[in-house]
Amino acid sequence: MKRNEIQLPERRVELYEAYVKILLQKWNLARSLGEASQYAVDVKATLKVLAPLALWMHATSPGVGLVRERGMRRELKRIYTRLPVADPEAATERFLEDVHKHANLLVERGAREYGFIHLTFQEYLAAVAIVAHGQEDVDKIVAILSEHVDDDNWHEVSLLTVGYLGIVQERDKAAATVLSRLVTEQPGEPGTAVVLAGQALLDAWPVGVALSGYENVTAACHALMIDPQMPPRQRLAAGLVLADLDIDPPGLDDFVTVPGWDFAIGRYPVTNKQYQRFIDAGGYAAESENRWWSEEGRRYKQRNDWKSPRYWQDDRFNHSSQPVVGISWYEANAYCAWLTAAKQRTGVLQQNQEIRLPTQAQWMQAAGSRQYPWGETFDAAKANTEESELGQTSPVHMYPDGVSSEGIFDLSGNVWEWTADLATDGWPWQKGGAWYWNKDRATTAARDGNHPLVRNLEGGFRVVVVPILRG
């Protein structure tokens, strides 16, 4: 990241640290002009006042960032009393006068109210203060984070605390201990501490968290994601942490053989990570059109200037382990043609085999003869449907209790899956239901027809390996 040709830190906590130092240096410089005997341009000394003040302000007025002068005066006096200052009361008055005269990081907002120029600076400095409490023992850090684990107003403070501890202070083992304690003790509402630890790990890994922390947190996130007793929203959040850490579903590229049939079907719907390989291989490039795209698909691709799936930049749908959505039937078929060539070239696929969309019969054989892949009774803990109230797709391995008898995931819910079969009107059939639709559309018998050009937020696909039939 660059600003005015200056290289800025990539991590948020380092960026805040850099900005705060610059602002404090400017503030101290303004305070010292003409009064050099009274002030030293000492960022660390100023932080010893501002950090605990920020923590108090956040505890006093979380999410608002404004406090009354009377309360701030009392807190400043308490802070200065703990510092090597001859006259805490005089230091307090001088500080308030400086804020009034040299508004910078902390500013007077009228009516004797004070706040930081942006709430994020208060959150960062509160994190600095929390870490200072745990210089010798991380128990105090764990206690503060645990106390506020369910409060959204403290979420950023918690993330920045771990980042400051592990990255700025370079105490990666201490950060690992804090995160490990959170996922072991699990304070607050079910799953909240695990998700918080996972998101903090995302911010600080790999520089700021030791390997033990990574292992403990990712294991806890995986356990939370697949636990049918936990709230769906927490399961989803844990799964997206794993996705953003680039941890793949087990056997992501596996094909499952269906007994008695001459095909094997993908264990999962095609994910964003898998589809990214198609894009990286030039799947949408003009020179690839004649190799992988049908004539009709090529025409629509050119006319609509397709460069990627429709929702490729939408954070609700674009994590690596979520099924790709916003895919037309033509794009799904082009992917199949590319994957056939790629796997034949590497010897994974025999020359007399190909990868394509399943027929309805193949899809239903894979799903089994029951009402749902797992049995006759619907269970919202086994599939991502409207009943889950997630409002988006989920990682393809989030519902292991909802697999078919052959261990195939997401045959019910998450995304409608294109098939090779066309209805009498020429529209392809889709199977499986989706996150947007209720349980009645997620049965193994349910189907939906859609125009092959449709690129909606509930449609994806799965592939099969079949023998090439020679005419």
Q: What does the pLDDT read at residue 442? A: 97
Q: What does the pLDDT read at residue 33? A: 59
**Which residue ranges in the chain fall short of pLDDT 70?**
1-10, 30-41, 103, 470-471
User: How big is the CA angle at 378 (ends 375 and 384), to the nearest 5 degrees?
Assistant: 110
Domain range list for the chain: 2-122, 134-244, 255-467
Single pTM value for the model: 0.92
Q: What does the pLDDT read at residue 37? A: 40
Burial label for 15, CB within 10 Å (0-12, 13-18, 19+), is: middle
Q: What is the DSSP letter of 347?
A: T
Q: If you search the block for the tokens 């807190």, which residue do you land on?
A: 75
Nearest CA among 128, 146, 142, 119 for reference residue 13: 128
Q: What does the pLDDT read at residue 3? A: 41
**Which CATH entry fits the domain spanning 255-467: 3.60.21.10, 3.90.1580.10, 3.40.50.720, 3.40.50.150?**
3.90.1580.10
- Beta partners for 115? 107
Write the pLDDT tens digit of every residue in 366-410: 999 999 999 999 999 999 999 999 999 999 999 999 999 999 999
**Strand duo 459-461 + 416-422: pairing:** parallel
Q: What does the pLDDT read at residue 99? A: 82
